[in-house]
Amino acid sequence: MRAGELLALLGPSGSGKTTLLRIIAGLDFPDRGRIIFGGDDATRVPVQQRAVGFVFQHYALFKHLTVADNIAYGLNARRRSERPEKAEIKRRVGNLLDLIKLSGFADRYPSQLSGGQRQRIALARALAVEPRVLLLDEPFGALDAQVRKDLRRWLREIHDRTGQTTIFVTHDQDEALELSDRVAVLDRGRLEQVGTPDEVQEKPVSPLVLKFLGDTIEVEAIAQDGKVLVNGRTTPLTAPAGLTGPVKLYARPWQLQFAEADTAHLHGTVRSSYRTQGRQRIEVDRENAKTVVVEASDTARLAQGRPVGLRIVGGWVFP
Partner 1 sequence: MSEAIAHGPASLPSPNPSPAPRDAALRPRSVVTEAGWVRAVLIGVALAFLALFLVLPLITVFAQALAKGWGAYLSAFTEPDARSAIRLTLTVAAIAVPFNLVFGVAAAWAIAKFEFRGKNLLVTLIDLPFSVSPVVSGLIYVLVFGSNGLFGAFLIQHDIQVIFAIPGIVLATIFVTFPFVARQLIPLMQEQGTSEEEAALTLGASGWHAFWTVTLPNIRWGLLYSVLLCNARAMGEFGAVSVVSGHIRGLTNTLPLHVEILYNEYNFVAAFAVASLLAGLALVTLAIKSFLEWRYADDIAAGARRH
Partner 2 sequence: MAAPLAAPAAPPVRPRRRFRQKSVIPGFGLTLGYTLTCLGLVVLLPLAALVAKAGGLGIAGIWEVATDPRVASALRVSFGVSLLAALTASIFGGIVAWVLTRYDFPGRRLADAVVDLPFALPTAVAGIALASLYAPNGLVGAQLARIGIEAAYTPVGIFIAMVFIGLPFAVRTVQPLIGEIDKEVEEASAILGASRVATLTKVVLPPLIPAVLTGFALAFARGVGEYGSIIFIAGNLPYVSEIAPLLIVIKLSEFDYQGASAIAVIMLAISFLTLLAINLIQAWSRRRFGYV
Binding site for partner 2 (CB under 8 A): 25-27, 47-54, 56, 58, 60-64, 73-74, 77-78, 109, 111, 122, 125-126, 128-129
Which residue number, 22 or 248, has a Cβ lying nearer to partner 2? Answer: 22
Contacts of 201 (CB under 8 A, 6+ apart): 177, 213
Which residue number, 33 or 305, has a Cβ lying nearer to partner 1? Answer: 33
- Which one of 6, 10, 20, 294 is in contact with partner 1 (CB under 8 A)? 20
- Which one of 10, 67, 123, 133 is in contact with partner 1 (CB under 8 A)? 133
Q: Does 74 bind partner 1 (CB under 8 A)?
A: no
Least Å from the CB of residue 30 to partner 2: 17
Least Å from the CB of residue 299 to partner 2: 47
- The one of partner 2, partner 1, none whose footprint includes residue 58, by CB under 5 to 8 A per kind, is partner 2
Contacts of 285 (CB under 8 A, 6+ apart): 268, 269, 270, 271, 291
How many Å separate Cα 51 from the centre of its chain? 24
Which residue number, 109 or 318, has a Cβ lying nearer to partner 2? Answer: 109
- Which one of 55, 143, 151, 167 is in contact with partner 1 (CB under 8 A)? 167
Which residue number, 56 or 254, has a Cβ lying nearer to partner 1? Answer: 56
Q: Are 51 and 42 within 8 A, CB to CB?
A: no
Least Å from the CB of residue 229 to partner 1: 34
Residues 174-193 that bind partner 1 (CB under 8 A): 184, 186, 189-191
Q: Does 268 bind partner 1 (CB under 8 A)?
A: no
Which residue number, 92 or 265, has a Cβ lying nearer to partner 2? Answer: 92
Segment lying near partner 1 (by CB under 8 A), choices 32-40, 249-257, 267-275, 289-297: 32-40
Which residue number, 74 or 240, has a Cβ lying nearer to partner 2? Answer: 74
- The one of partner 1, partner 2, none whose footprint includes residue 194, by CB under 5 to 8 A per kind, is partner 1
Q: Are 76 and 82 within 8 A, CB to CB?
A: no
- Which one of 26, 110, 139, 253 is in contact with partner 1 (CB under 8 A)? 26
Which residue number, 105 or 212, has a Cβ lying nearer to partner 1? Answer: 212
Q: Does 274 bind partner 1 (CB under 8 A)?
A: no
3-state SS track over the chain: CCCCCEEEEECCCCCCHHHHHHHHHCCCCCCCCCCEECCEECCCCCHHHCCEEEECCCCCCCCCCCHHHHHHHHHHCCCHHHCCCHHHHHHHHHHHHHHCCCHHHCCCCHHHCCHHHHHHHHHHHHHHCCCCEEEEECCCCCCCHHHHHHHHHHHHHHHHHHCCCEEEEECCHHHHHHHCCEEEEEECCEEEEEECHHHHHHCCCCHHHHHHCCCCEEEEEEEECCEEEECCEEEEEECCCCCCEEEEEEECHHHEEEECCCCCCEEEEEEEEEEECCEEEEEEEECCEEEEEEEEECCCCCCCCCEEEEEECCCEEEC
Binding residues for partner 1 (CB under 8 A): 1, 7, 9, 16, 19-20, 23-24, 26-27, 29-39, 41, 43-44, 46-47, 133, 167, 184, 186, 189-191, 194
